[in-house]
A and B are shown apart, each in its own frame.
Chain A
Amino acid sequence: MKAKFSLFHLIFFFAFLLSGYTEPNFKAILKEIDNMNNFKESDFSATYTIVSEKPGEQTSVMKIQMFRRDREDKFLMLILQPEVQKGQGYLRIEDNVWFYDPESRKFSHSSLKENIQDSEAKNSDFKVSSLSEDYDVTSWQEDKLGRYDVYVVELEAKHSEVSYPKLKLWIRKDMNQVLKVENYSLSGRLMRTALYPPSYIKLGNRYLPSKMLFIDELREGEKSQVTLTDASLSSLPDYVFTKSYLERVSR
């Protein structure tokens, strides 16, 4: 009787220990996701094609050339298409974002929280990823998304300098890649869903999702596909990250 009692407690104790050991280190996972999307050691350039659908409207297409220098918190986003917006661009230097309009040759202050033109994608979707710094994990569970085993992790922002105060992430267990993100308002209203299907561009030792789908949850039927092409880690000249480059390139 005594032995049986001990065995029961031993099993319970190990089960408890094991369950404790299986809790993943989300801080590290988020850091890993950030690293996968950040390019601290080299410059990064790529072309993004954003195709946006809205009910009752014709499909709109926008092509953007992205230049990033994450180690200095800089990016330059240049609109290549459509023709009428060609040459407009966003330049980020540290905490400042400027919008440049080549027609008026004027700059104005913009924000990372703004949408890129009329699409569902935001400026912040292309900046340095800082999930591990900006958010705290509030809850998590294991689940399956299609054929993939995932952690479903809920995050809450630590400060107000983010596009969305609450996030829900579906993270692949096997490779620290996000498959799906739900963006919530402070009151918990679902604002936007982002899907990152498992189609990757391998750049060095990184895997970058080559396609993303952003679904506006407030306006039914509004969605944008973002496609990544021409990704490169080649270094870029310093003048790219200047206002004068934006001015000169569209002259």
Chain B
Amino acid sequence: MPVLLRIAFRNLKEHKSKTLIIGIIIALGISILTIGNSLMDTAARGIQKTFIENYTGHIMVSGKTDSPLSIFGMQMAGATEKVPVIPQYEKVKKYVVSLPEVEAVTSQVTGYAGIELGEERGFVILFGIEPESYRKMFSSIEIIEGRYLEPGEEGILLGESKILEIEKEYDITIGAGDQVILNSFGAAGFKIREVPVRGIFRLKQKTEGLDQIGFIDIQSLRALEGMVVATASDFKLDEEETKLLNLDSPESLFSEDDIVETETSRSEYSQQELMGILGGGEGGTGSITIDSGAWHYLLIKLKNGRDMPRIIAELNSWFDRENIPATAVDWKTAAGGMAMTSDIMKTVFNIAILIVAVVAVIIIMNTLVISVIERTPEIGTIRALGARKSFVWKMFALETFTISVLFGTMGIMLGVIIIGVLNIIGIQATNTFLNVLFGGPVLRPSVSSGTILSAFGIIVLIGFLSHLYPVWVALKIQPVKAIQTEY
């Protein structure tokens, strides 16, 4: 082996310029790979942290839909499909809570509403929440004015940046204690709710765009969304009132004879009757228990994020077994398009790196083949002296691996140094897109062991691939012919 190493180093030294060219290509490629992947990984971790800690938890459970669904509602613009409520919510929640890996759960409804501002109308994304469990799970909401929502009370929490935007655009001021009028324009028609602003919040990990959300008490949002809050069991329904719904083929009704009831003429409505038509009961929310109603999402935070794929699989198979049309997805699906951005960028970047790697392999291969041809007599002599084919193979393999590992390591070191500098300086997000991509206003990248391992993997792969063809050429050389060749 030392002989082989000596030969390898001698050859590399003899062809300094070629070695240097190949080495620089490898070193640059590997350093770009290290820097790029470190940036992307840090950004992905930032996005993951932002979403898991502020909005989605690790896992989101929802009713099944045909179109993609995220925590912000249906993902396709103009989709006629409405966000379904979680079927058999109580049963699902009970099962989720019983899993030992689960740290916390909270439920949510998402809606959109117009926010009436004098003559103007703004727009706000609303998360209808259960204040107690939501606050426990997503601790990064920091109240800067007023207070958090109390369980069961009406009210809304608005983000600091949303307030600033409203104040700037509509020239009015909103503070904790003010009333705001919300209009929903969902599929269920027009709904109005006047709710007090209980507090103004700021996210500890600031992410522009995402602090536009208003957190509202669930009952107000259900009313705005026209969601079913009362159920049939609350009323005594006449059998006749559900007769048509229960028929397998409603058109069978037309095989029956006419049924005619003659309505006995009632006397005129008295003022007392007309005024008491609602039965004297209070219109309002008092009779509804919040938790037993409809929810869009059940958000789950795990004790250990690594359990996520297993718990998702477990939940989905339980839904299948229990025949519940619900589904569990990871935080990334729950986050919708926003979290996908970093994945797409990473894929594009890795494709680019792959292309660089292929080019590097071709150049190394080409250079080595030339080197083989130059050294034909030498190879022939070595073979004639009794060296086996494997010796020649090892000789070239060692040469390529020496170049790859030497310069590859230099490349990794260069990448680590640059990332270290960037970590100290910090990359500022200059726009909203970068803000989301960085998972915050400043990106401080760091190199992970995964990045270094994958870089080494690529180095080994380059070394392996680029030595195959030259060796094949070298082994084809007949010792007798090789010795006779003159260069």
Residues of A within 8 A of B (CB): 45, 49, 51, 53, 55-61, 63, 65, 78, 80-88, 99, 101-104, 106, 108-110, 114-118, 145-148, 179-180, 195, 197-203, 207, 210-213, 215, 218-219, 223, 225, 227, 230-237, 240, 245, 248-250
Near A by CB (< 8 A), chain B positions 186-207 give 187-194
Q: In the assembled complex, how far is the CB of residue A200 from the closest CB belonging to chain B, in whole angstroms?
A: 5
Given A146-B254, A197-B244; 4 other pairs, CB 8 A cutoff: A83-B281, A103-B284, A108-B192, A146-B251
Report which residue of B241, B244, B267, B274 has the largest number of chain A beta carbons within 10 angstroms of its beta carbon. B244
Q: Is there an interface contact between B283 and A225, defined as CB atoms closer than 8 Å?
A: no
Q: In the assembled complex, how far is the CB of residue B276 from the closest CB belonging to chain A, in whole angstroms?
A: 8
The CA-CA distance from A63 to B84 in the complex, in Å, is 24
Q: In the assembled complex, how far is the CB of residue A38 from the closest CB belonging to chain B, in whole angstroms?
A: 17
Smallest Cβ-Cβ distance to A144: which chain B residue: B254
Q: Is there an interface contact between A237 and B271, defined as CB atoms closer than 8 Å?
A: yes
24 contacts between A and B (CB under 8 A): A49-B237, A60-B232, A61-B234, A61-B235, A78-B277, A80-B277, A82-B230, A83-B230, A84-B288, A87-B278, A87-B283, A88-B283, A104-B194, A108-B190, A110-B190, A116-B189, A117-B188, A118-B188, A197-B256, A198-B254, A200-B260, A207-B260, A225-B244, A249-B277
The CA-CA distance from A86 to B234 in the complex, in Å, is 14
Q: Is there an interface contact between A56 and B281, defined as CB atoms closer than 8 Å?
A: no
Q: Is there an interface contact between A118 and B253, defined as CB atoms closer than 8 Å?
A: no
Q: A200-B259, A201-B263 are known contacts. Are A195 and B253 too (CB-CB below 8 A)? A: yes
Q: With an 8 A cutoff between CB atoms, is B380 at the interface?
A: no
| 9-residue interface stretch from B31-39, B69-77, B220-228, B362-370 | B220-228
Total count of chain B residues near the partner, CB < 8 A? 70
Provide the residues of chain A in CB contact with B266, threshold 8 Å: 230, 232, 234
Smallest Cβ-Cβ distance to A123: which chain B residue: B189
Q: Is there an interface contact between B269 and A45, defined as CB atoms closer than 8 Å?
A: yes
Provide the residues of chain B in CB contact with A85, threshold 8 Å: 223, 230, 283
Smallest Cβ-Cβ distance to B266: which chain A residue: A232
- A-B contacts, CB under 8 A, total: 217
Near A by CB (< 8 A), chain B positions 238-260 give 238, 240-245, 250-260
Provide the residues of chain A in CB contact with B256, threshold 8 Å: 146-147, 197-198
Provide the residues of chain B in CB contact with A60, threshold 8 Å: 228, 230-232
Q: Is there an interface contact between B283 and A147, defined as CB atoms closer than 8 Å?
A: no
Q: Is there an interface contact between B261 and A232, defined as CB atoms closer than 8 Å?
A: no
**Among A104, A118, A235, A245, contact of B227 (Cβ-Cβ < 8 Å):** A118
Q: Is there an interface contact between B260 and A104, defined as CB atoms closer than 8 Å?
A: no
Q: A200-B260, A207-B260, A225-B244 are known contacts. Are A146 and B253 too (CB-CB below 8 A)? A: yes
Q: In the assembled complex, how far is the CB of residue B196 from the closest CB belonging to chain A, in whole angstroms?
A: 12
B262-294: CB near A (< 8 Å → 1, else 0) gives 110111110100110111010111011000001
Q: Is there an interface contact between A110 and B189, defined as CB atoms closer than 8 Å?
A: yes
**Among B82, B189, B241, B268, contact of A234 (Cβ-Cβ < 8 Å):** B268
Provide the residues of chain A in CB contact with B4, threshold 8 Å: none
Q: With an 8 A cutoff between CB atoms, is B482 at the interface?
A: no
Provide the residues of chain A in CB contact with B279, threshold 8 Å: 80
Q: Is there an interface contact between A198 and B288, defined as CB atoms closer than 8 Å?
A: no
Provide the residues of chain B in CB contact with A147, threshold 8 Å: 254-257
B158-193: CB near A (< 8 Å → 1, else 0) gives 000000000000000000000001010001111111
Q: Is there an interface contact between B269 and A58, defined as CB atoms closer than 8 Å?
A: no
